Amino acid sequence: MENTQKLFELACSCRLNAYTPYSHFKVGAALLSGNHKFFCGCNVENASYPCGTCAEAGAISAMAAAGETKILEILIVADTPQILPCGNCLQKILEFGDDNTLVHSADLNGSIKTFRLYDLIPHFFKAGDIKNAD
Ligand code: THU
């Protein structure tokens, strides 16, 4: 619970920096990595719409840049009753998650719903499906 609260606070403060001149929909994400470090990200849009990046992607990039390769928990917050990662972000989370990884969905009031990653996407493409993957 303490971790979840810290994730919420981090995601909320990062969300304030979201760059959203097109959608005006600000999203914040924060994650707890395998070595118990916290990372956060926000969505960054672009005049060429598909170039925009989601909040989760920002948090995952920060984690990878720090040499971390495991996501224990990730929290997403937006001004909506229940935000869940888009399909693209679920795939990104899967890369560093496992069947214990938790995904928390928060609204701005701090109401938090928790899901297991594998319940959100029970069937998926993974490294093991590629013949020569590490
Ligand atoms: N967005 C995220 O940051 N994360 C998600 O999981 C869903 C969508 C952003 C992308 C875009 O900047 C805005 O929300 C509207 O789609």
- What pLDDT, on the 0 to 100 scale, is given for residue 133? 80
Which pLDDT score is estimated for 131? 85
- Binned average pLDDT, 10 residues per bin, the chain of 134 residues: 94 98 98 98 98 98 98 98 97 98 98 98 93 81
- pLDDT of 1 reads 65
Give CA–CA dist 59/134, Å, rounded.
24
Tell me, what's the pLDDT at 132? Answer: 81
| Environment class of 100 (CB within 10 Å of its CB; exposed 0-12, middle 13-18, buried 19+) | exposed
Pocket of ligand 1 (CB under 6 A): 20, 23, 25, 27, 43, 45, 52, 54-56, 85-86, 89
Tokens 């924060």, residue located? 30
What is the residue with the minimal CA distance to atom 13 of ligand 1?
A: 25
- For residue 32, what pLDDT is reported? 98
Alpha-carbon span 78 to 14, nearest angstrom? 11
| b/e per residue 64-94 (b: at least 16 CB within 10 A) | eeeebeebbbbbbbbeeeebebeeebbebbb
Per-residue model confidence (pLDDT) at position 134: 79
Q: Look at the pTM and tell me if it is higher than 0.75.
A: yes
- Going by the DSSP 8-state scheme, the letter that residue 6 receives in this structure is H
Q: What is the pLDDT of residue 26?
A: 98
